[in-house]
Chain A
Amino acid sequence: MSSQLIGLLCMAGMLGAIALRMPIALAMALTGFIGFGWVVAFGPAVSILESGAMDTLTNYSFSPIPMFILMGVFASKARMSSELFNGAKTLFGAWRGGMALAAVTSCGIFSAISGSSLATAASMAKVALPEMKKNGYASSLATGTLAAGGTLGIMIPPSIALLLYALLTEQSVGDMFIAGVMPGLLGLLLYMVAIAVTVWLKPELAQPGEATTLRQKIMGLKGVLPFGLVFALIIGGIYGGIFTPTEAAAVGAFGTLLIALYRGLSFQDFTDAVQETLIMATLIFFMVIGANIFGYFLSVSRVSFALVELVGSMDLSPALILLCILTLYIVLGMVMDSIAMLLLTVPVVFPLAMQAGFDPIWFGIITVITVELGLITPPIGMNVFVIKSVAEDVSIVEIFKGVVPFVISDIVRLGLIIGFPFLALGLVN
């Protein structure tokens, strides 16, 4: 049996095992181990278990991951989201739908120090949802806004997804982060447009709040300052060549810790934050180890090369290749976690994208936006479930209805970035 056929069989087996609730990390590792053993021999396959794990866990490039997570968790524990939302509320609150605008803006700003969509959605929902409900906002608009707003965390740097993509494809982490800025801000802008259009079409969904004075608006900006400071430190540091991503992550985590301590972070909160970070980090590292072991198998089975050759022989246009890849991501995004999906597919799909002549940074941004869509599309939509856990009285169907305008705006953003690549590459170049 040819190594490519073994590769395809093992990959089919892996997808079947994942469908039967096998943890994705285990599915990748086991497929890598069995596949490598089948193609080469089982003795060396045991060795790749060790090297796959040790290479990952002693890789300096992966060290920013837990520290970026720590930074976001410190911000959550210090309830910085509350001050942020109150500040944004003074800016937009008086308009019809203003609180939804404030919520989505707060999500965007919170993303600047949290690399996780789920953490952003969870933190902001606890603060903004009760306020929106109190002010007579329709549940669908309130929950939909927060579920979608949370997705900004995956694009606005520092983003764990962009970091992992950069490491998987050997791109500069700094370039990936910088490339994420404009698409992230564009996403925020389009979400605001989506809210404005929704409220314009259905004014009964939201009520205007109390008007605020200019002084109150300026005072409200105080809540944004710590976020701006940490964001500038991280992105400015990496962009200016002052810090490596690891150093930026450490400085960011420490800076957020200082802000959190100033805001009264207790020792219990601190230890809880470290514990939460360890849980999230081990979740990611289990998957990265699995992906690494799976990567060894991909190399020896030559499945990726065969796929590239096959697509090359079919003489498909780059646009059609991109369409196929995006369709794959949208379908997978319906059933799979975003980070897992990236780790599982990028090693297979990336060579194909390079063969089609795509810019690797631009392709990364497109990939992450598509993955981001999966966070709010049925049936899984992880962010929707996070919001559901906070808004127990709102049905899942209602939340999914609420995210429809945001899904449309994400598709528009995807189209804009595909059509105008400088939106992703402008700052990098």
Chain B
Amino acid sequence: MRQLIATVRLLSFYLNVLGGICLVSMMVSVLADISTRTLFGMTDGAVDLTFTGSFELVRYGLLFAMVFSMPYCLDRGQVVVELFTEGLSVATKARIAAFFTLFFGIFGALMCYRLLHSASAARLTGETTQDLLVPMSSIYTVAAVGMAMLALRGLSLAYSLWYQRDGDVV
């Protein structure tokens, strides 16, 4: 089981690295858009390096950055109110966290199922993005991979927290 949990964590880390690349790419695509636009304006259109699709690159860049990072950041990316449960033992708190983390796993699984469903629907209709004409089915499928990982990470993290001993995660 330890091996399986470690593997899920490692895979989610790799996906998180991809998320980071998407985030930086998002910033670069906006800068490229601004630079080419400015150059176009400054040269009265003589130098036209402008490109279409910056809007879509940002939109889907944000989607992939977040969807790929959510599984790895799941254990650090949550806000809880501790005031009323502060007196509970570490083990009890860990079990509560495990229980709630399970829901994130279920959410990931449901999202994955729905996204794959949307992907097949988009494949049938041939739906694409407006500017870059990227098939929506591909976008949904890639997002579904992130959500599948969220499901796995949610389940494995819940297991780890449930069997946690003295603060050590299994």
Contact = CB atoms under 8 A, between A and B. Distances in A.
Interface of A: 18-26, 29-30, 46-47, 49-50, 53-54, 57-60, 62-63, 66-67, 70, 243, 246-247, 250-251, 253-254, 271, 274-275, 277-283, 285-287, 335-337, 339-340, 379-380
Given A58-B59, A58-B62, A274-B20, A18 B81 contact: yes
Contact of A246 (B30, B72, B76, B118): B30
With most chain B CB atoms within 10 A of its CB, the pick from A30, A47, A57 is: A57
A47 B121 CA distance: 14
B145 interface: no
16 contacts: A19-B85, A23-B100, A24-B80, A26-B107, A29-B107, A46-B114, A60-B59, A67-B30, A250-B26, A250-B30, A250-B34, A278-B20, A278-B23, A281-B65, A282-B77, A285-B66
Given A21-B100, A58-B59, A283 B93 contact: no
Q: Which are the 9 A-B pairs with shortest beta-carbon distances?
A: A250-B30, A50-B114, A23-B78, A283-B77, A282-B77, A282-B73, A278-B69, A274-B20, A57-B63
Interface string B121-150: 000000000000000000000010000000
B58 interface: yes
Nearest to B85: A21
A19 to B, nearest CB: 5
Interface of B: 16, 19-20, 23-24, 26-27, 30-31, 33-34, 55, 58-63, 65-67, 69-70, 72-74, 76-85, 93, 96-97, 100, 103-104, 107, 110-111, 114-115, 118, 143
A296 to B, nearest CB: 15
Contacts of A283: 73, 76-79
B contact face: mostly helix, strand, loop, or mixed? helix
A280 B63 CA distance: 15
A326 B63 CA distance: 35
Contacts of A278: 16, 19-20, 23, 65, 69, 72-73
B134 to A, nearest CB: 12
B76 A279 contact: yes
A59 B69 contact: no
Given A60-B58, A250-B27, A250-B30, A335 B65 contact: no
Contact of B23 (A20, A66, A336, A379): A66
Contact of A279 (B30, B34, B77, B118): B77
Given A26-B103, A62-B62, A20 B85 contact: yes
Contacts of B55: 60
B26 A19 contact: no
A336 B31 contact: no
With most chain A CB atoms within 10 A of its CB, the pick from B65, B72, B77, B143 is: B77
B65 A49 contact: no
Contacts of A335: 81, 83
Contacts of A253: 27
A21 B97 contact: yes
B71 to A, nearest CB: 9
With most chain A CB atoms within 10 A of its CB, the pick from B19, B60, B69, B79 is: B79
Contacts of A281: 23, 65-66, 69
